Every structure is written in C-alpha cells, then in structure tokens.
Copies of this chain bind each other. A is one copy, B any other.
Amino acid sequence: MNLNKRGYRDVVVWDAERSSAERCDILVEGDKISSILPVGTLKPGYAYEGKGNTALLPGFVNAHGHTAMTLLRGLGEELPLMEWLQKRIWPVENNLDGNLVKTGTTLGIMEMLSTGTTCFADMYFFMDSVAEAALETGMRCGLSRGIVGDSDGSKLRENLKFARDFNGKDGLINVQLGPHAPYTVPFELMKQIAEEAKESGLGVQLHWLEAASEWSISGFEGKMTPEQYLSDTGMIDVPNLLLAHCVWVNKESAEFYAKDNVTIAHNPKSNLKLGSGTAPVPAFLKAGASVALGTDGAASNNRLDIWDELRFAALIHKGVNNDPTLISSSEVLKMATVNGARALGFNDTGLIKEGYKADMVLIDLDKPHYVGWDLENLVGYLVYAGSSSDVKATVVAGKMLYKDGSFTGIDKDQVIAESKAARCKLIGR
C-alpha cells in the first residue's frame, strides 16, 4: 500500500454544499481529497471500511478559544464574571510561560482531535509555543497574539513577527492579528491594527460585545453605535474579521454584519455559563451573516468539544424565542465546518470536495441512538442525537491523527502527566 494514498470505502458523506448525505468511496492523496467515487470503486483491504454505517464529514472548526486554558479548567466556578476574571483567572495567567502554554495547548488539541475538531482558532500569548504544539501534533489552526493595553505597541509588533515566522507554516497555520476587545485596546491602536491587517492581508480575531457591560466600558454609550466603531476604526474592512460572541449586538443591527469578510463566532455554552446570555443568531442568519461555532476557553465552558456547541446552538434559540423552526441542523453543521474554515482563511477546507484538504471526521452510526437514520435525516441525527463519543477517527491534512481512542504522534499518558504537573505549578494542586 502506498502510504501517501488512503481510501475510505463506503462512507456516508455530508457537507454544507449537499442537500442530503451520499454513500461514496473517497480517495485521499497526500494532504488532499483526490477523488470522490461511486461505492465499490476502491478495492477492499486498501482502505478504511465505512461499511455504509460510518459518516464522513468535514472536520469541525472551533472558531474561538484560548486553548491553553485547559490548565485553568474548573477555577472559580459559578462566580460573577469580574470576580472570576480578577480573582481566579488573571492572577494565574500571570504565571504562565511558554512551556506551560505549550503543554496546555497540546492537552487541548488532544481533546479537540478526539471530539472531531480538525482546526482551531486561538487568541492567547506565548503564541510561538501554541504554533509549536500545533505543528508537532499536525493540527490546523488560526492563531493570533492577544493584544491588551499595549501602550508601547510591543504586542502588536510581536503579533506581526509571529505572522512572519509562522503564517502559512507547513500549510497548517494561518496567523491573524488579535486585538482583544474595544474596551482593552485604545481607539487609535485599533485603527492601526486595522491598517496593518489591510496592508499585510492578515485576518483579525476580536472579542465583540460578549457582556452587557461592554457598551459602557467600551465607551459606546451615548457616543456611537458599536457598528460606527467598527467603521470608524476601519476594522469592518479588514480582509477577514472574526468577531467572537456578539451576544449584545442589537438584533436590528444584524444586517450590518452580513458581509463577505465578516464571521461571527458563536460560543453558546461559554455565553450561558458566564451569564452573558444568548447571541441573536436567528437574526444574523436571517440577515445573511456568516456564523461559526466556538468553545471559548476551557475555564468558561468547560469542554473543548464542538458537539456540545452544535447541540446548544441547535436548541437554545428555539427555546428562548419559542420557535421550534429556528436554526436547522444543517445550518448548525455548516457553522461548525465551512464557515469556521473560511473565517480563519482556509478556503480549501470545510467541504468534502475533490482538491480540498483532507480534514475529516469519521462517525460511527452503528449505535443504539442512530437506529432510524437515513440519507435524508442523517444531519438531524448527528446534531440532535450524536455526540463526540461517536467519533471513530479524525483526519487532518490527510493524516489520521486520532482513531478509536488513540492518537498518532501524541503520547497521551505523557501529555496528561505533564499537564497535571503544569497545573500543580500554576495552581498549587
């Protein structure tokens, strides 16, 4: 067998460009999907056997997070937001270093791979360490250096240097600029970052109206609308703008966000857990805005499992708006795949298509809760009944990085042991 080629026989393929699932054979060559073939074309013994009972979907994209916060999981549960940040999170983050960030990121990558995620967004610090963790594990990602305060511009310079060093690296990493939020970045610096993005062609990751208080602490109230701010800083015109949260965007402003270069990263669980609320996703979708899904950091979620987000995104908007017809399962799966990929600048991932990168998740349908699935209703089964425990294998750039509980190229026990030690160093236990 040519190790550079890999087949997947009789798998049930779905992506956001198909109206229903289809049974196919898939051939992968190198890091790409080279052929989508009728079932039975590939020879047995040469391929992964889907047996007509394994779904093959584009790998999930986690469009917002701070991966190394796996080391801070469980800190300050059920505290009010500012007390949580100021007393429990920030003091610990002050003690992070590159090694700890690399360990925490690798732990998070394991969790994401085992739950079907093939690409993640990250805004944090010690980003070289985050990039190393991704390259060593073979994971795809969009990375930005979180810029807070930054009166001397050193963090922006660091973000730009990080882009020079890592943007496009191994075909796995896209670098974005990472202004943290309008309330932590001065107006003039935000303008400068927008200019740098336009000049360099880099995308931007930005926290946007996560909590109600941000209207006042960002200085919008009585002065300008948030949308005016995005226009005045030039942010709305950067090549690829990824706005995380958008919980407190006025429904009436949803149309402003319906632009080809803008994606909203919806983080339903984190927004609920921190008491922020629910983003007006039905209004964004109605306006034609692009919405992706994210987990946020493991200290406010507490799971880097995009299936959880699928379920919450599919259910909460029906409930809080008293309308069971809102947000279909296929819309939610589109958010979790191609929309996230586009937002991070990966234009050849997120679909199962010839010539696209082979970023894929394989899902076992031979389980009690899938009895009754067919090609038309499969997406509903996945979103409303499926879960990450159904993930058989996860493939990034053609390589099967996770299969049946085991990782390729990650020593699970060692990473867990190192993470426990890192946690002890940080928290004292």
For the complex formed by this chain, how many copies does it contain in all?
A: 2
Instruction: Report which of B80, B273, B328, B366 forms a contact with A319, defined as CB distance below 8 A.
Output: B273
Judge whether B389 and A387 touch: CB under 8 Å. yes
Q: Does A86 contact B (CB under 8 A)?
A: no
A412 vs chain B, min Cβ distance (A):
8
Instruction: Report which of B269, B303, B324 forms a contact with A275, defined as CB distance below 8 A.
Output: B324
Q: Does A5 contact B (CB under 8 A)?
A: no
Which of A29-37, A348-356, A374-382 forms contacts with chain B?
A374-382
Q: Give the chain B neighbours of A271 by CB distance below 8 A.
A: 319
Q: Give the chain B neighbours of A78 by CB distance below 8 A.
A: 318, 324-325, 328-329, 380
Q: Does A278 contact B (CB under 8 A)?
A: yes
Instruction: Name A274-296 residues within 8 Å CB distance of B.
Output: 274-278
Given contacts A368-B111, A372-B427, A387-B305, contact A322 B74 (CB under 8 A): no
Q: Does A77 contact B (CB under 8 A)?
A: yes
Instruction: Report which of B316, B369, B380, B412 forms a contact with A303, defined as CB distance below 8 A.
Output: B369
Given contacts A318-B272, A372-B71, A381-B74, contact A308 B311 (CB under 8 A): yes
Q: Report how far A372 CA is from B423 CA in the complex, Å.
A: 7
Judge whether A384 and B325 touch: CB under 8 Å. no
Q: Report how far A318 CA is from B271 CA in the complex, Å.
A: 9
Q: Report how far A324 CA is from B318 CA in the complex, Å.
A: 22
Judge whether B389 and A273 touch: CB under 8 Å. no
Max chain B CB contacts within 10 Å: which of A77, A111, A368? A368
Judge whether A81 and B369 touch: CB under 8 Å. no
Judge whether B110 and A368 touch: CB under 8 Å. yes
Q: Give the chain B neighbours of A79 by CB distance below 8 A.
A: 324-325
Q: Report how far A280 CA is from B271 CA in the complex, Å.
A: 19
Instruction: Report which of B276, B302, B388 forms a contact with A322, defined as CB distance below 8 A.
Output: B276
Judge whether B325 and A80 touch: CB under 8 Å. yes
Judge whether B369 and A111 touch: CB under 8 Å. yes
Judge whether A303 and B107 touch: CB under 8 Å. no
Q: Report how far A172 CA is from B70 CA in the complex, Å.
A: 42
A271 vs chain B, min Cβ distance (A):
6
Q: Give the chain B neighbours of A298 by CB distance below 8 A.
A: 369, 385
A200 vs chain B, min Cβ distance (A):
35
Q: Report how far A274 CA is from B322 CA in the complex, Å.
A: 8
A315 vs chain B, min Cβ distance (A):
4
Max chain B CB contacts within 10 Å: which of A311, A324, A374, A377? A324
Instruction: Name A312-334 residues within 8 Å CB distance of B.
Output: 312, 315-316, 318-326, 328-329
**Closest partner residue, chain B, to A70 (CB atom):** B371
Q: Does A114 contact B (CB under 8 A)?
A: yes
Q: Report how far A302 CA is from B310 CA in the complex, Å.
A: 13
The 3 closest A-B pairs by CB, nearest first: A272-B319, A389-B389, A275-B324
Question: Can you list 19 A-B pairs with a CB-CB distance of less than 8 A?
Answer: A73-B371, A74-B384, A77-B380, A78-B325, A78-B329, A107-B368, A272-B318, A275-B321, A275-B323, A275-B326, A277-B320, A301-B385, A312-B312, A366-B416, A368-B412, A368-B415, A368-B416, A371-B423, A389-B389
